[in-house]
Structures are given as C-alpha cells and as structure tokens.
C-alpha cells in the first residue's frame, strides 16, 4: 500500500487537530512513523539492525559508570540499545526529534565543508568496523583532521549544541574566570571508545546551533587506562568502564536476554550520592538543591526514553523474555 494511502487511513481513524498548522505537524508525525527504508537512517521508524542475525553497535551508543558507581552513569543505556535493535515497541518519534537531528546534520555539514576548503581533512585507512570485546563496533567519527599548529592528526567529532541553554553555556562558555570549560559528560563514552578504536587523539568541536561563532574545542587521549582531557587525567572514566558495558551487551545479544537498567528507578539519594553527582558535573546547583530537599532523583535519560513503559514493567537485572 502506498504511504499516502496509509496516512489518509490513519487520519480518518483518529482525532486530528483543528488548527491548520497543528494539523500539518500532526500529518508529518504520521508520515515519519509510517515511512521505512529511507536512505536517511534517522527517518526510518525501524532500526536498520532489526532483521540482522549479527548485531553491531555504534561507538556513539556506548555508556559507562564513572568509578564503576551505578549512580554516576554517563552516555547510553544498554537496555535501551537492546530494545532498539531487537526491536521492542517504543513511543513514536516526533517531528521535533527528527527536526533536531536535521539541524545537527546541517551544522556538521557546514563544518565539514569549511574543513575541506581549508585542506585539513585527512583520509585514513583505518576501517570503520572493528571487533571490540566480542562486539562488532561501527565508528561514529565525523572526519580526521591534520592540525598544522602541532603537526598532529586527530579524529574529529563535531557536536552542535543548544547554546541558549544556561547549563550548556555555563559548562562550555563560562563567563567566570575561575570556571574551567569542560566537555559534556554525555559525550565521554563515545570519545573513549573512539580512542580505543583508532589509537589516535580525538577532538570534539562544540558549535552553537543558534550562534555558529560560538565554538569550544577539547582534545582527548588515554593515560594509565583513564581518559585525558587536554592532557589532564580524568580518574574514574576508564577503558575498563567501556569494556564492562560491552561485556553486558555481548551477553545480552548472544543469550537474547534484556540487559539490566543502566539508570536507576526514581529514588531519594543520600547526601554522599548527591555530592558525587555534583562533583562529576552530572547535575547542576538547582537540581542538587532540589534533591537535598528530598525530591526523588529521576534520570533525564529515562524521562526521554521511548522504552520507559516496558523497562519499568521488568525487573532491574538481566531478564529473559520471549522474543
């Protein structure tokens, strides 16, 4: 059946908004969740790995626990990845999800164009798929660049960010002399896995989505199994953390069991736990004040997770369910 016929059928069956532009957005939501086999991956409703026997993962999909502490989680959740690739039914994607990805793609492509014009893009014969701890990993690197200032070749990730969000501005473009800019924690597992993957320095270039003149660069490496940011060792973010996450995913994929939740259910935290979250820059002052007053800690990752309903209905550890 043609896509437009399916959409028309859905429009007849459901309450549609009365306002003209709301109706246009509503229709686009339906279109996005009906389409498949698009060349642009993010437009597909179904993950490309769904029907494959041998599953692979992207380096951008990894996560880890800082100091192996479950409350100090950064990056993706193994359970969410599992739900996505097998697949389980999650909430539909919205036009807002897709349009945000499209904006990011635009900013990335603008920067790739500038780097190409400057003649600093390097072709590296490294391969984009590697086996790491028994998992087939696909690289998410954007490009490789030659930095003529220090005669160095590095992998580059271009990360467009919402520069009007106060928390992001404070972390990347702080106005205070005594506050050192630091990369967003959510990107560190990806960086670490790319460092293991390529054995080359990796850079992140943060670019403001609303003000393209706003940029912040960080260079990463590995020392004593720990991540380094601009030469400084970050204790607690280690290659062992990545290995542990890959081990969980390998077991889950091989044995077809749902992996444990990587993020905790909402609960009240101890003062020590709140202090650790602040120290690792995983929550800001406003949130820590709220938690100290006795509010429950709710992971933002779970709040936006499309599989929250099914996840909450299962036990927290490995779970065997029929696929």
Q: Token digits for 157?
A: 């990730």
One character per residue 192-221, x = contact with ligand SF4 (rule: CB under 6 A): ------------------------------
Our measurement of the distance from residue 249's CA atom to the centroid of its chain's CA atoms, rounded to an integer in Å, reads: 16
List the one residue from 103, 251, 290, 308 that touches ligand SF4 (CB under 6 A).
308
Comparing C-alpha atoms, which of 202, 95, 103, 217 is closest to residue 162? 103
Q: Is 282 in the site for ligand SF4 (CB under 6 A)?
A: no
Based on CB atoms, which residue is closest to ligand SF4, 181 or 260? Answer: 260
Our measurement of the distance from residue 295's CA atom to the centroid of its chain's CA atoms, rounded to an integer in Å, reads: 26
By rule CB under 6 A, what count of residues binds ligand SF4?
A: 12
- What is the closest distance, in whole angstroms, from the C-beta atom of residue 187 to ligand SF4 in the complex? 17
HEC string of 213-272? Answer: CCEEEEEEEEECCEEEECCEEEEEEEHHHHHHHHHHHHHHHHHCCECCCCCCCCECCCHH
Half-sphere exposure for 256 (CA within 13 Å, toward CB) = 8
Across the strands, what pairs with 264?
none
Residue recorded with tokens 């409350």: 71
Stretch that binds ligand SF4, among 147-155, 159-167, 228-236, 259-267 (CB under 6 A): 259-267
Beta strands 63-65 and 135-138 are unpaired
- Find out whether 30 and 67 touch, Cβ atoms under 8 Å: no
Q: Is 305 in the site for ligand SF4 (CB under 6 A)?
A: yes
- What is the closest distance, in whole angstroms, from the C-beta atom of residue 80 to ligand SF4 in the complex? 4
- What is the closest distance, in whole angstroms, from the C-beta atom of residue 230 to ligand SF4 in the complex? 30
Based on CB atoms, which residue is closest to ligand SF4, 63 or 155? Answer: 63
Q: Is 71 in the site for ligand SF4 (CB under 6 A)?
A: no
Q: Is 311 in the site for ligand SF4 (CB under 6 A)?
A: yes
Based on CB atoms, which residue is closest to ligand SF4, 255 or 289? Answer: 255
Based on CB atoms, which residue is closest to ligand SF4, 85 or 305? Answer: 305
Q: Is 262 in the site for ligand SF4 (CB under 6 A)?
A: yes
Stretch that binds ligand SF4, among 53-61, 64-72, 242-250, 304-312 (CB under 6 A): 304-312
Question: How is 158-227 classified by DSSP, letter by letter?
Answer: EEEE-TTSHHHHHHHS-S-TTS-----GGGHHHHHHHHHHH-S-EEEEEEESS-TT-EEEEEEEEETTEE
List the one residue from 261, 274, 277, 287 that touches ligand SF4 (CB under 6 A).
261
- Backbone dihedral angles phi then psi of residue 245, each to the nearest 5 degrees: -65, -40
**Which residues bind to ligand SF4, rule: CB under 6 A?**
77, 79-80, 261-263, 301-302, 305, 307-308, 311
């Amino acid at each position: 059946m043609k896509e437009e016929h399916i959409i028309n059928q859905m429009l007849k069956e459901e309450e549609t908004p009365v306002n003209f532009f709301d109706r246009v957005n509503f229709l686009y939501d339906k279109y996005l969740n009906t389409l498949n086999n698009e060349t642009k991956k993010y437009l597909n409703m179904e993950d490309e790995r769904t029907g494959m026997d041998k599953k692979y993962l992207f380096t951008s999909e990894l996560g880890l626990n800082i100091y192996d502490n479950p409350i100090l989680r950064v990056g993706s959740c193994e359970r969410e990845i599992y739900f996505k690739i097998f697949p389980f039914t999650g909430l539909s994607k919205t036009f807002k999800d897709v349009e945000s990805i499209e904006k990011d793609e635009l900013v990335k492509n603008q920067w790739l164009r500038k780097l190409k014009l400057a003649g600093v893009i390097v072709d590296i014969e490294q391969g984009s798929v590697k086996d790491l701890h028994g998992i087939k990993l696909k690289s998410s690197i954007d490009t490789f660049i030659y930095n003529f200032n220090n005669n160095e070749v590095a992998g580059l990730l271009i990360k467009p960010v919402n520069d009007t969000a106060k928390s992001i501005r404070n972390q990347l473009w702080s106005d205070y002399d005594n506050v050192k800019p630091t990369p967003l924690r959510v990107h560190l597992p990806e960086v670490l896995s790319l460092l293991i993957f390529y054995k080359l320095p990796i850079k992140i270039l943060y670019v403001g989505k609303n003000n393209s003149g706003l940029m912040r660069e960080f260079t990463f490496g590995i020392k004593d199994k720990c991540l380094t940011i601009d030469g400084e060792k970050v204790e607690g973010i280690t290659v062992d953390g990545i290995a542990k996450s890959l081990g969980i995913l390998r077991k889950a994929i091989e044995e077809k069991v749902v992996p444990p939740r990587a993020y905790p259910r909402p609960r009240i935290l101890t003062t020590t736990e709140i202090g650790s979250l602040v120290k690792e820059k995983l929550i800001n002052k406003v949130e820590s004040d709220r938690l100290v007053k006795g509010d429950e800690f709710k992971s933002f990752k779970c709040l936006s997770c499309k599989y929250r309903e099914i996840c909450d209905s299962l036990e927290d550890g490995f779970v065997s369910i029929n696929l």
